[in-house]
Chains A and B, each alone.
Chain A
């Protein structure tokens, strides 16, 4: 993975010193709260319900065992012994006192980590595919260009005070695992017939209160122009994006208002003078950064192993784990393994300090000391020998990190919600826990098959509810917590936003609602059909009917009558 050189190190250290000084000036009253606010946000520091929340960047999902140990130590010594992995690879602490933050950042800098631009109206941490570099369907390893984008966006002098946050995601595989279409800029890297890396550039995607899928602004952009082209996009946005209303300030609103044609025209006009200028990425720079992402020293291994096969045949629990949590690898004899952070009773994405230490040990023992954080809020050991899978399973199980549910109903994506977040309309973690509690029969979960259930505690959509096969959104009705349900959303190459099924529910009803949705699916599905495919084929009505009963049919009939009459 990328390692800092003297330049990176000096910059991150300078940032720590800068933030220490800013904090001191704020404490001394030289900086007002309002002036300090964007400065702390650009260092990942939010003021939340109970305490400040500190968000640490995990650039494009890569994290080392050594880094994870430091994250564990910080959780233990500065926080309450746990931390939370988010849907953007990052890690959040919930209880670190404000005055300690500069020290924590200094400690992170020693292991080449930071919280730079993890919040605020600037270019945020670049996200990517958690299987970059190892996925069999990968066409371009995104990590070198993602690192080049990280450096370019870091302390960008022109783009530190954009109208609103700006998120860039990159993927380079046949299947999009980075949800690029819900980002301000989404990049899909591929190759032309000569092997040259090109980008399809999407712009104006985003979730939140006005969910919009991105549109293609440029097809076939050669990799060396990525920075200058993005500079053109962001300059146009910086100058023309709305600043009168934060809910209308994302680039998606500008792109919609202008229309993609007009927006493209403006970007092209801006780009004309930048193209082939100094921001053009050089072969030497790409080669330099790519050299950090060379393959580890893989052994020559057969793609099978007798003990592994024997265990597979004799141990159903192991076989299930392999089926759900073990992923194909481009190197024979190797697999990627998801360590699930979705054990029953656990807040999705949460991890304790002892678990982090243990995972670091697993990464050292089984995966060349490297791991990834996925946007589904799990951890991934990227390079595990197939023959070591049985022993890894046993160890992961002892750590409660082997729930064989990756990709299934209880692999819930969930934001911190009302338990932690000031903006929440409703709690989200208890809903996740109640659903995990209800559906703990593995046979049933496996029978139901692939299903994304995503929960957000308000319309900001940090839990990606719009793109869940089942999406749950916390809403506030007369100071009470209610939950609106959408179905049919999905991520991936055919990203779609889910549709609302009807009036919202009380928290206590949510497990029943999910049960009814699943029953409907089971009764209607065709062989091999996933939940979301059934929804697409049969539409919302059968699901509404099962959830709302006859009242739904009555309403539907009345509506028809009204339309006919």
Chain B
């Protein structure tokens, strides 16, 4: 059982992430019983077989997956995850933004991979709602670092309004 962060709290959760084994045909990849996040290509290859496992098979996306193809399939998935192969690879932020805003995905969106403490705020802003921390990160420390900033200058998925539309910023002045 793994722990994830959701709504500022720790939740336990049974989802596991499946990586395609080297030199394996996505159609031939075995998916053990239980709740699995599978790569998009595995899902495409085995979608019919997965129909019998409703609620058990979610999909994780990498930066190379075609979002237009993905978007057509949302309805069948209980969970979508985006992988951060390395925390410095920022593509996941824009992928998440596009899923939420262009493709109007409204279900659970989870950050997986090299998910570290100091990026969580950004992840929550662009549209992730659950965070599967990198195993080396302390959940306790992570929880303390979800909102390092009191306000946001620019809009994003969490609040599309930039600060100048949110509040009346009087000249030289005080918070309104």
- Spell out A's residues near B (CB within 8 Å): 3, 5-7, 10-11, 14-15, 17-18, 21-22, 25, 30-31, 35, 38-39, 121, 151-163, 227, 235, 238-239, 243, 273, 277-279, 281-282, 284-285, 288, 291-292
Main secondary structure of the interface of A (DSSP, over half): helix
Inside 8 A of B172's CB, which chain A residues have their CB?
A: 3, 5
Main secondary structure of the interface of B (DSSP, over half): loop
Known: A6-B175, A285-B164. Contact between A160 and B153, CB under 8 A? no
Inside 8 A of A155's CB, which chain B residues have their CB?
A: 149, 152-153
Tell me if B167 and A7 are in contact (CB < 8 A).
Answer: yes
- In the complex, residue of chain A having the shortest beta-carbon distance to the beta carbon of B97: A158
- In the complex, residue of chain B having the shortest beta-carbon distance to the beta carbon of A3: B172
A105 to chain B, nearest CB (A): 14
Known: A5-B174, A238-B93. Contact between A121 and B164, CB under 8 A? no
- B102, B123, B169, B170 — which one has the most chain A CB atoms within 10 A of its CB? B169
A168 to chain B, nearest CB (A): 14
12 sampled A-B residue pairs with Cβ under 8 A: A3-B172, A7-B175, A35-B118, A152-B153, A152-B154, A155-B153, A158-B125, A163-B90, A239-B94, A239-B95, A279-B162, A285-B164
Tell me if B151 and A7 are in contact (CB < 8 A).
Answer: yes
B176 to chain A, nearest CB (A): 9
Q: Which of B113-171 contact A (CB under 8 A)?
A: 116-119, 121-123, 125-126, 138, 141, 145, 148-156, 160-165, 167, 169-171
Tell me if B151 and A10 are in contact (CB < 8 A).
Answer: yes
Docked CA distance A409–B138 (Å) = 57
Interface size (B, Cβ < 8 Å)? 48
Tell me if A157 and B125 are in contact (CB < 8 A).
Answer: yes
- Spell out B's residues near A (CB within 8 Å): 63, 87-91, 93-95, 97-98, 101-102, 116-119, 121-123, 125-126, 138, 141, 145, 148-156, 160-165, 167, 169-175
Inside 8 A of B151's CB, which chain A residues have their CB?
A: 7, 10-11
Inside 8 A of A11's CB, which chain B residues have their CB?
A: 149-151, 153
- In the complex, residue of chain B having the shortest beta-carbon distance to the beta carbon of A273: B102
User: With A5-B171, A151-B163 given, can you name 16 additional A-B contacts, CB distance below 8 Å?
Assistant: A11-B153, A14-B148, A18-B149, A30-B141, A35-B116, A39-B118, A121-B90, A154-B153, A158-B125, A235-B98, A238-B90, A238-B91, A278-B165, A284-B164, A285-B164, A288-B171
Tell me if A7 and B160 are in contact (CB < 8 A).
Answer: no
Docked CA distance A239–B138 (Å) = 29
Inside 8 A of A6's CB, which chain B residues have their CB?
A: 173-175
